[in-house]
Structure formats: structure tokens, C-alpha cells
Structure 1
């Protein structure tokens, strides 16, 4: 969450030190920092058109007379973080062609770290046709060598499907070309990005580009839809308007904490499409406490009624459901599981929906995890099975769990890629589990098991094959809100990766 100047200024002379300092001040005075915004990022055109005699980038002395380090210090002094821009090519993207980072990765990363940079947007212009993975990994490695934690934004516009390879390269990757301040551009980008939900998660996010909210090309209703869609897609929220000129209505949209909470939910799941027909779309996003964020989105040129059901959006059966409209702030109860609203043209209604009674924290003591209800499940082949192997695609078709001939009575039978989440509520301390490929897998299957406490990885099996015995994992769950059990393919191209979470047990207060 933060700000980037490009959408409002491009390379015009109004982009300068005074503007950036003004934005940092407004983050504090207008409550943006308290709402969660923290990065103040500057885009292209901050540098001189040539490097100095030592090959270093030089800040434009007219735009930034006190230099970049002084600007970063100013931002840091306000409890914020500072971001910078360059390109993974010989020159940046602006037509003036400022020096890019290609073949200067170590030198530039060291310079950025010395200036106190916390975020690097790494663009894709003038790349000389070189392989994207190689170019972006070079900057990743250079940043790591500096020892400074810097968010790396892979901005190669989705051209090389970064969602398939950039998970260990950057923290976010652009999934589309540049957004513009029009309804058609925003809608097109949203549709492209929402198809990639399976690739997003804590520490590796789909990025459908920066926000246009407040720049004047759309109506207030369309801007609320824009903000709603980005939030249900767990997208980065980078403000793209000059906040010094923003209206009260723009600030109201950007600081809606209920909608921001959906975007920033610690489970980190991107919402998915439940239904889409005739310009009426329903999206659902699982939340850490077991609720669902449900968006009713109207692409048409007139008001329409849009409805769905609690069961369709992934909520469990219950006697009733609470609906909290995150824009109007109205609350209601559905006794029949129907979730609906009259939605204005180009509008979006977003509800936070919870089942009666909510999701209880695990019982005190040590429990078999397979006896508890997960809050969300995704699996690569059929359903995740309880106390049996994965089997085939039908429910309840697994066999008794067996890893290298050792049988297990309790557990979860999954298939890569898979993710199962549980609500912890901060009450649990420890998990133990034996992990391995079930004996029903083909002989060259391979997977990796990982356990996450919210965003933090707390156990990792490394690569396991069907020839490996079960490996015991122990994970510290102290203070965690969400437990995430993740299985990923081992990369051998096989699809028969039947993965067992065997004898999983958690200890809670």
C-alpha cells in the first residue's frame, strides 16, 4: 500500500522534490498512514540522462536539488518507506531514455541501498531481447547482496507470464500492460488479472497496476468499483493521484478501512469469480476469520439486481448469515443464504459475510487437525480427503494413507498444487506432522510441503519424492491467526503428486 506519482504526473516538471514531500506529509495529516499506506514511491525521470564518471546514477538536480537520500530520509522521518524506479534494460521507458539497470545491477542495488530505498519498481523497456528471468534474477541477487530488505516489483507487463516463475524473484509482478484512467482500461485489466488468482499469495502478489482513483477520468461510482475490485483481488494498493489536489470523496474511497481490510487480510488469498453472465459478476474472497468478502459487480449501462447464495461463495451451512455492506456500512441478516443487491450501472457492492456463530478457534489441548473444519481448501486433483489419500477426482475415493509402507490413520490427502487453511485465532502454539508422497503416487512424483503461520513460513520439507520416507515437520504457531498448509509440485513435470499430511496435530491454549 502506498503511492506512485506516474499516473498523475508522468514525466512533467511538476514531478519533483516538493511534490513528493507534500505527499509524505499528507499520508500523515490525512490519515493514510493510519489506514495502512506506507510506501511513497517515485517513478521514471528522477535521474539525469547519463551516469557519472564512476558509472553511478545521478539524481536530476532540478527536480531533486537535495538528492534522493535526503528525500528518503524525509519520508522515513514520517514513519513511511521510500520507493524508487529503474528498468531492466539499457534505458528506462520514458522517451528521454534515462539510464537503466541492465549490466549495472550490483552497482545500482548498492547505490539504492545506501540511499535507504525500501521498494524498487523494475520496468522492462530497452531490454535488448534478453531473457526476462535472467534480467530480473540479476537484480534480485544484487539486492540480496546489499543486505537491505527491498521490495522488488517485477514490472514486465505480464509478457513472459511472470506468475509462473517470479515467485522467488520478486514480491509482486505486473500481470498486464499499463492502466489508463478510463472505465474500459480498468475493466479490461481487472478481467485479465482475476483469471490468475491461483498464483497470488503472501509474499508473491499479482499486480494489475496502480490505482487511478481521483484522476478524473471515471465517475465516483466507477472509482469505488475500481478500488473494490483491486481489494477483492488482493492487489497492491498504490495511489496514483496527486493527493495535494484530491477531493474529499477521493480520500473517502482511498481510506475505507473495511475495504482495505479485505485487501490486506492475512490469509492473503485473491478472490475468484463465482459467476459471470450478461455483465453481472460475483466474486468471493476467503478471509482469515472464516468470513467471505463477496462482490456483486455490474458492468452494464443500467442498474441490475445481482444475487448469489452463501453456499456458492464458499460459506458453510448455517441458520443465518450476517451481511456487512462495506461502502454503505449497513448491516443485514440473511436467513435463507441469499446474498443480493440492486447494483447501479458500473457499480460494485461488497459485503463481508459471516455464518452464524462464525468460525471457532481450535479447542484447547492437542487435537488431530483432520478432525477440525478448514476455512478454505484448494486442491490440484479432486477434493482434499480426510483421513485417506487423495485418490481420484470423486469425493471419498481415497485409500488408507501409506508413506513408504508405513500406514497412518489420521491426516489429509492432498494433491499438488494444494492449500488448506485453518483459523487459529492466536490461540495455538505448535504443530507436528509427518509429510510425504502417498504410495499411490507414480514412481517419479515429487512435491514440497510448507507450513505458514499467517505470512511467515514456519516449516519446509524441501523436495520429497515417492522414494523418500515420511519427514517429520514441527512448526511454531505462536500468535498466528491462520494456519496454511501448502503443497507445491516438485518441478519434474509429473501430475500424479499425491501428498499426505499424515498425523497432523496442533496444540492450542
Structure 2
């Protein structure tokens, strides 16, 4: 075989494994993001208080380590073009040091466009400079939001009317430019793409250096929106794995728009989907119920399982669906999910999920072993809720 062809074949064969080894995200990233609750009002004090709460509530020890500042932190660039924080964030290096002192990591936000979604300074034309600034501050995570780069994409399409993919190619090149800039800093900064699933980022995200990419438009704190997003992930499971993750957006648990069973369904679906778990609530006002949902160790273990498999939808009928996710040690997680307002009796055949001779079954949310089961398993699922099980031999 031609040597170049052999090397190319090697690269293709082992690229996912190598990426997983070098990626800052061998399992789905976990942490907190400011946008869902604070939006444009987030301040340095809010971020410090969140870091404190992540420690005191046990969330850090449960795996939530990233403290991510979303849009509206940016001030103006100095005479040399370097970005600075605004009056809400007067000293980003000191903030990063504080977050790091808590055993946590700091995340930040920008855009490949000239402006962010909220109209603050983006990174267009300053990619390498911004990456170096983030590294000097001690940033560990970058969320890169498409936003105003749509203007450049539209101009590119007009300039190349014979190429229907001209805008998408420019977008991918822009994301790669920042990915290369982050890598050139020498600091391991987790790179998160936020472009709402446009142009199938799960197919090219790893090639631009990303560890995760949004697969959908924004979530909000309502059950219908959360449920729709969860269901939309069914066809892209093959693109998730160690070092590279599909991102159905942040968690809304604790923001008050859903009932506890709906939040348990939210947490269960995201765990089954091997999704990044980024809480988005005000941790200083978190209820015991919300904390118990966010910190359930068995649910988190499903999300963080080292196999890195995303669940697939095994069965769907009317207002009921069954999802399965292979776990390490030959185990399988099964989620029985309903969109019904009332409770549903649901069932599945153990043989169809890999256990023809039966399995030991554990109810994850109740924390109870249900004993040895075989044949058809039947369980009761609360309205807008979930029955989350782990099957083992």
C-alpha cells in the first residue's frame, strides 16, 4: 500500500480515539452557565457566589466543575485591540483565580461575528488575540455563538451564487480559526460550538477542535420545549462519544417553570443522551428537591458512563417511548418516557434490550432494586415523567 494512503487510513481509523485522549471532555462536560437564569444581568459577584454554592451544595463533588459566564461580560478593546471585561467584570484574571481556588474551572463566551447575540464585542478579526487573552486569564471553556456571523455568511453566499454551501463553508472555517487559535495557546480550553445545529455540526465539529456542539435552537423552562428537544436527538446518537458530544442545550432544572416529575424527565433524558450537564439556575435559591435532582449520583453516572454511548429510541407509540443506553460492565440503562398528562403503564421486553435470560433491575430515581426480572417488564410512569432503570446480568 502507498505510504501516504496507509498513514491517511491510520488517521481516519484512530482519530476518534486520539481525540478522546487529548480532549478536555472524555465524558460529557458538567457545570453551570449564567444565561438561563441571569441572562444579561450576570455579574462578577454572581459568578463568585455560584462557585461558592457549587462547593457547599455538593454539586462540585458530584461533577459540576465548570462555571461558565455567558453573554454580556465584554467591555471595549484597548488600544492594542485586546478585549477587556466591562464594569460588571472588572478583573477577569482575579475571577478565574477565585474560581480555580474552589477546585472549579472558568468558562467564557464569544462569537465568530463582530457582535455577540446581545450586541457586545465578538471575536471577528481578533481570534488569535482573544484566545491568548483567555489563556492568560486562566479560562478553561469557550462557548462560541454564531450570532452576527450570519451577516458574513449572507455576503459570502451573494459573492458565490454558484455555490449553495458557500455560507456554511465560511462558518466552518470561522469555527476552525478559533479552534486553531485555542490550541495554539497551549492551554487546554474546552471548545463548545453554539450554532443551533445549523449545517449538522455533529459531522464536522471534531475537525475544528470542538468537544461539544449545539444540536438545536435554544431551550426554555417549559416542559413542551424541553420534551421536543429531547425527542429531536434520536437520530444522531452515532456522532457522540468520548471527547465529542451532542449538546441539546443547558438544563432548566430549578428555574421554576416545570414540576418535579418534569424536571426528573429532563435530567433523565439528558443523562441518557450523554449530554453535557450545565445547570442554569440560581444556586443560592435552590430547593432541596431541585438539588436532589441535579445531584442524583446514579443518574449522573448514566450520563458520565465511560463507554460514552448516547441513547437510542428503542420504541415509540402514541405518547410513550422507550430509550436504551449501553453502559460499562454489560449493563443497560432504560428510560420509559411519557408525554401524557396522566400516569401510564408502560412495558418493554427484556430480550429486545439485550437480556433474553432476564436481568437484575434497579429503579434509579427511587433508589430501589426491583429484583430479577424476565420476559416483559411493566412499570408505572407518572404524567410528563420517566421511569429510569438500570439492567444488569
TM-score in terms of structure 1 length = 0.67
2:47 is the counterpart of 1:20: yes
Partner of 2:31: 2
Partner of 1:299: 339
Secondary structure in structure 2 of the residue aligned to 1:228 = helix
CA apart distance, 1:330: 1.4
Question: Does 251-260 or 99-108 show the bigger shift?
Answer: 99-108
Secondary structure in structure 1 of the residue aligned to 2:333 = strand
Q: Is the Cα contact below 8 Å between 1:296 and 1:340 reproduced in 2?
A: no
Q: Is the Cα contact below 8 Å between 1:132 and 1:160 reproduced in 2?
A: no
CA apart distance, 1:28: 1.1
2:345 is the counterpart of 1:345: no
Q: Is the Cα contact below 8 Å between 1:75 and 1:81 reproduced in 2?
A: yes
Partner of 2:23: none
Q: Which has the higher helix share?
A: 2
Give unpaired runs (5+ residues) of structure 1: 356-509
Higher relative contact order (CA 8 A, sep 6+): 2
1:116 to 124, 138, 143: 138
2:127 is the counterpart of 1:105: yes
Secondary structure in structure 1 of the residue aligned to 2:95 = helix
CA apart distance, 1:54: 1.1
Mapping 1:370-449, distance limit 5 Å: none
CA apart distance, 1:160: 1.2
Partner of 1:219: 259
CA apart distance, 1:104: 1.0
Give unpaired runs (5+ residues) of structure 2: 1-29, 154-166
CA apart distance, 1:17: 1.1
Higher-Rg structure is: 1
2:363 is the counterpart of 1:325: yes
State the distance in 2 between where 1:73 and 1:194 align: 40
CA RMSD of aligned residues (A): 1.0
Partner of 2:67: 40
Q: Which has the higher strand share?
A: 1
2:172 to 89, 112, 133: 133
The aligned length equals 346
TM-score in terms of structure 2 length = 0.86
Query: Any idea what the Cα deviations from partners look like across 1:442-468, whole Å, max 9, x if unmatched?
Result: xxxxxxxxxxxxxxxxxxxxxxxxxxx
2:164 is the counterpart of 1:142: no
State the distance in 2 between where 1:3 and 1:146 align: 24
CA apart distance, 1:317: 3.0
Partner of 1:255: 295
Q: Is the Cα contact below 8 Å between 2:361 and 2:373 reproduced in 1?
A: no
Partner of 2:206: 167
Secondary structure in structure 2 of the residue aligned to 1:283 = strand
State the distance in 2 between where 1:149 and 1:45 align: 24
Q: Is the Cα contact below 8 Å between 1:171 and 1:204 reproduced in 2?
A: yes
Secondary structure in structure 1 of the residue aligned to 2:330 = coil
Query: Any idea what the Cα deviations from partners look like across 1:120-148, whole Å, max 9, x if unmatched?
Result: 00000110215221010000000111000
Secondary structure in structure 2 of the residue aligned to 1:342 = strand
Mapping 1:445-456, distance limit 5 Å: none
Partner of 1:68: 92
Q: Is the Cα contact below 8 Å between 2:112 and 2:124 reproduced in 1?
A: yes
2:329 is the counterpart of 1:289: yes
Query: Any idea what the Cα deviations from partners look like across 1:151-185, whole Å, max 9, x if unmatched?
Result: 00011110111011112220000000010111111
Partner of 1:55: 81
2:109 to 85, 88, 91: 85
